[in-house]
Structure 1
C-alpha cells in the first residue's frame, strides 16, 4: 500500500536485510483505524539463531568490543545524525503503528531517545571510568600489589522491547549496549515492529560493523529462544511483570544477567496544602497519556480528605476536555489502545471495579462516534479501597483511581501497599516534608511538585519490588552492560 512515510519491512541480520526463512508474516495494523499498514516477516527460530550467531561472532572476533570508547561514540553520533534526518519517518510510523498522538510522537517517542543517544556519546562515554587504577597495597615480606579495574562489555545481549513506546524503549536498550561494546539482538513487540526495524537503516548509515546489531521479529517463541540461547550473555526485557517473571526464570537456567523493566501502579500523593492545579494536571496526564499505556504513569491519586471532593471535581472537568480520536488529527489529545485484546482487558477491569463497589464518576465506556479503532473513554473511579482490584492491578489503559487519606503516615502506607514500585509523586507547599515523604516511598523514581521537565538522561530509571531489576538511562544504563575485571600484579 502507498504510505506518506518510509519504513523497513525486513529483518536485519549480520548487517543485511532479509525476509528470513519463514513464510509467516506479522500484520501491523493502525490501532485507531484497524487498517493494515504493513506486513513484515515473522522470524523463524532459524532466523533468531542466525542473529544470535552473528552477534556472537561480532563480539568474539569483530572490532566493536575492542574499539576505544571514543571510536564507538563517533559511530553512535553518526547514528544520531541519521535519526535526526529521518525524524519525519519515525514520527509518522509511530503514530500509525503505536497510536501516539502527534505531540507524544514528536517528543518522548522519537526526539527524546535521539537526545539520550547524543548524551551517551557526548557526555557519558568520554568521562566514564573505563579503567581505574587501584591504590597500591603493601604486603610485608611479599611486595607491593597494584593493578587496574577495567570495565568491559558484557557480551551478546538479547533486547526485548514493548509495544507502547517502541522506538524509545528499544533505544533505551540499544544505546547503552552498543556504548559498552556489546553486540545485540533486538526483538520488538509484534504489534509495533516498524519503529525498531528502522534502527537497522541508521546502523548502516553510520557504518556499524556487521553483526553488532541484529533485529528480528516474533512473539513468544522468538523471545524464549533469545532468553534461553546458550550464546546470549544478558537479557534486557521491558513488559509486564507476569512475562518478566518468565523471562527471569528462563535466563536463570544458564545464569544470564537479566535487566527487567516491568509494571507499575504509581501513587500520586496530594497533601492538603498542595497546588491543586498542578496536582490535577499530573493526575490527568497519568490517565490519558498514550491512553494510559505507560508503566510509570501516576494512576493512583492519594488525596487528603479535606481536598478530596475539589480534586475529583477538577479532575472530572479536565477529563471532559480530553478529545479522544485518531492520532492523525491534530486536535486529538488521547488515542486508542494498541489492540482489541487490550481494550477487552481494560473493560473487564472496569467492570470488576464496579462489581467490587468502586464508583465511576467519569467515563467507563467507549467514546460515542468512534466505531472503528480500539478506543476507551478516560475513566475515573472514586470510593476506592486500596485492596480493590482497580487499586492493585496495572490496567495499561486510561483509568485512574482516587483514594482519600487523613495523615501523611497513612498516605505513605497506601503508596507502599502495592506489589509495584516504579514511580511516585508528592504534591505539597512544604517541600521539606514532601522530600521526607519521597524518601519513604518504595519506588525507583519520585517527583516533587511535578519534578523537572522532560526525561533527564542523567536520571536512573527502574523500579523496586515487582517493577523490575536494574536501571536504564545514562551512566546507570551503561553500567548494566559492563563487567568489572581486576588486573593486578606485584611490584618487586
Structure 2
C-alpha cells in the first residue's frame, strides 16, 4: 500500500534496523478503514534476547551510563530536534494506525511528548540533584562521618507501552530512562508499533550509542520474555490493570523494580454552584476524546441532584453534535476504536448496562452509514447506581455515566468507591470547598475547574489503588529510573 508518510517495518536492535528472526509478522490496520497499513516482524524470543543482550552490554560496557548528565542532555536535545523535523510523519502515522483525529494527533499524540523531552533535557537534568553531600555526623572517639548521596542509573529497562497513545506513552518511558543513564528495550503494542519504531530514526540522528535503545515488537510471548529476563533490572508497563498484575507477578520472581500505569474510572464532581458550561465540555471530552480510549479520561460524572437534569440535557445535546467518522476527514471530531475486538467489548458492556437497569439517553449503537471501521456512537447512561458494571468497569470506549449526589460527603464517597484512582475533577465556584474535596479524592491527579492548560511536564502522573505504581513525567518520572547510593568515609 502506497503511503504519504514514511516509517520503518524492521526491528531496531543494537543501533541498527534489522529483520526479525521469525518469519511471522504483525499486521497493522487502519482502524477507520480496516485497510492494511504495514506488516512488521513478530519478534521471536531470539530477537528479544538479542535486544536485551545489546542493552545489557551497552549498560555494562558502553559510555552512556558514564556520561555526564549534560552530555546525555545534549543527545536528547538532538533527538528532539529530529522529532520536530519529522512531526508530519509522526502525525500522519498516528492518524493512520491509532485512529486519532488530526487535532489530537498534532498535540497530545506527538508535539506534547517532544515538549516533555525538551523539558527533561533543558530544565530537569541541569537542576536535578545527581549528587548531594550528607550532613556530617560526629562520633566521639571515632571521628567525623561524612559522604555523598549519589543517584545512579537503575540498569536495563523493559519498556512496554499501550496502543492508544503510541508515541506519547513510549516517550514517557524512553525519556526518563535515557536521561537517567539507563539502557532500554522498548516494546510497543502490537496494534500500533509504527510510531515507536520511528524512534530508532531519531536515536540514529542524535548519535545515541548502539544498544542504548532497542525496539522490538510482539505480543504476550515477547512481553513475558522481557518481564522475566534475568538481565532486565526494571519493568515499566502501561496497559490494563489485569495485564499489569500479570506483569507484576512475572517480574517479582527476580525482584525487578516495576512501574505500572494502569486503568481508571475517573470521576468528575459537579457541585450545584459549578460552571455547567465548563463541566459539560469536560464531560464531553471524557467520553469522546480518542473515542474514550484514555486511562485518565473522566467517564463518571457525579452531579448535584439540583442541576442533574440540566447537565444531562446539555451533555446529550453536545454528544449529538459529535461527528463520528474517518479521522483523516477534517470534519470528523471522533474516530474509531482500535480494533473489532475492542468494539465488541464496548458493545457488550453497553448491553450489560441496559440489562442492569441503566438508561441510555444518547447513542448505544454503531453510527449509521459507517460500514467499515470500528466505530461506536458516543453513549451516555443515566439512572446509574455506582455499584453497576457501567460505573465500575473501564470501558476504554466512548461511554460515560451520570450519577446524582445530594451532598459533598456523598460525592466524595461515590468518587472513592472504585477499584481505581488515577484522575478526578471538581467543579465549583467555591474554590476553597473544591480544594477540600480534591484533597479527599483518592486519585493521583485532581483538577479544579478544568485545571491548567495542557499536559504539564512539571506534574506527576500516576495512580492510587489498581491504577498503578510509581509516577511518570518530569523529575518524578526520572526518579523512578534511579538508584540511591551512599558513599561515606571518616575524617580522622
Give me the TM-score of the superposition, normalised by structure 2.
1.00
How far off its partner does 1:100 sit?
A: 0.2
In 2, Cα distance between equivalents of 1:321 and 1:59: 53
Question: 1:135 Cα shift?
Answer: 1.0
Structure 2: distance between partners of 1:331 and 1:156: 45
Deviation at 1:198, TM superposition (A): 0.1
Q: 1:260-287: CA deviations, max 9, x gaps?
A: 0000000000000000000000000000
Distance 1:269 1:17 in 2: 49
For 1:322 and 1:180, locate their aligned partners in 2 and report how far apart those are by CA, in whole Å. 43
Query: Once the 2 structures are TM-superposed, how far is the Cα of residue 155 of structure 1 from its aligned partner?
Result: 0.1
Distance, in Å, in 2 between the alignment partners of 1:5 and 1:113 is 20
Runs of 4+ in structure 1 displaced over 2 angstroms? Answer: none
Secondary structure of the residue that 1:274 maps to in structure 2?
coil
* Superposed displacement of residue 16, structure 1: 1.1
Q: In structure 1, the residue corresponding to 2:303 is in which secondary structure?
A: strand
CA distance in 2, matches of 1:391, 1:175: 35
Q: C-alpha separation between the residues in 2 aligned to 1:309 and 1:132?
A: 57
Is 1:338 aligned to 2:338, yes or no?
yes
Q: Tell me the alpha carbon deviations over residues 225-247 of structure 1, each in whole angstroms, 9 at most, x when there is no partner.
A: 00000000000000000000000
User: Secondary structure, in 3 states, of the residue corresponding to 1:218?
Assistant: coil
Alpha-carbon distance in 1 for matches of 2:348, 2:147: 60
| Map of 2:194 onto structure 1 | 194
2:136 is paired with a residue whose SS is strand
State the alpha-carbon separation in 2 of the partners of residues 287 and 133 from structure 1.
49
Structure 2 SS opposite 1:185: strand
Aligned to 1:120: 120
- Counterpart CA distance in 2 for 1:185 and 1:55 is 7
Alignment of 1:283-322 (within 5 A): 283-322=283-322
What's the offset of the Cα at 1:55?
A: 0.1
For residues 72-109 of structure 1, the C-alpha deviation after alignment (integer angstroms, 9 at most, x for no partner) is 00000000000000000000000000000000000000
Rounded Cα–Cα distance in structure 2 between residues aligned with 1:273 and 1:80 = 44
> Deviation digits for residues 39-58 of structure 1, max 9, x if unmatched?
10111000000000000000
Per-residue deviation at 1:448? 0.1
- Structure 2 CA distance for aligned equivalents of residues 203 and 326 of structure 1: 32
What's the CA shift string for 1:392-412, capped at 9, x where partnerless?
Answer: 000000000000000000000
CA distance in structure 2 between the aligned counterparts of 1:22 and 1:347, rounded to whole angstroms: 35
Q: 1:15 Cα shift?
A: 0.4
Q: TM-score, normalised by structure 1?
A: 1.00
Map Cα deviations across residues 203-226 of structure 1 (whole Å, 9 max, x no partner): 000000000000000000000000
Alignment gaps of 5+ in structure 1: none
Distance in 2 separating the partners of 1:26 and 1:469: 30
| Counterparts of residues 57-456 of structure 1 (less than 5 Å) | 57-456=57-456
> How far off is 1:415 after superposition?
0.1
Give the secondary-structure state (helix, strand or coil) at the position aligned to 1:488.
strand
Q: Distance in 2 between matches of 1:467 and 1:40?
A: 31
Hey, what's the Cα distance between the residues in 2 that align with 1:414 and 1:392? 11
Secondary structure, counterpart of 1:163 in structure 2? coil
Alpha-carbon displacement from aligned partner over 1:136-161 (angstroms, at most 9, x marks no partner): 10000000000000000000000000
CA distance in 2, matches of 1:88, 1:416: 41
Q: For 1:407 and 1:20, how far apart are their aligned partners in 2? A: 59
The CA distance in 2 between the partners of 1:344 and 1:425, in whole Å, is 29
Q: Structure 1 residues 75-84 or 12-21, which shifts more?
A: 12-21
Residues of 1 paired with 2:345 and 2:127: CA distance?
Answer: 46
Deviation at 1:20, TM superposition (A): 1.4
Name 1:465's counterpart in structure 2. 465
- Note the alpha carbon deviations across 1:457-477, whole angstroms, 9 max, x for none: 000000000000000000000
2:46 and 2:230 mapped to 1: Cα distance?
15
The superposition leaves residues 411-463 of structure 1 with CA deviations (integer Å, 9 ceiling, x where unpaired) of 00000000000000000000000000000000000000000000000000000
- Give 1:134 shift: 0.5
Alignment size in residue pairs: 492
Post-superposition offset of 1:380? 0.1
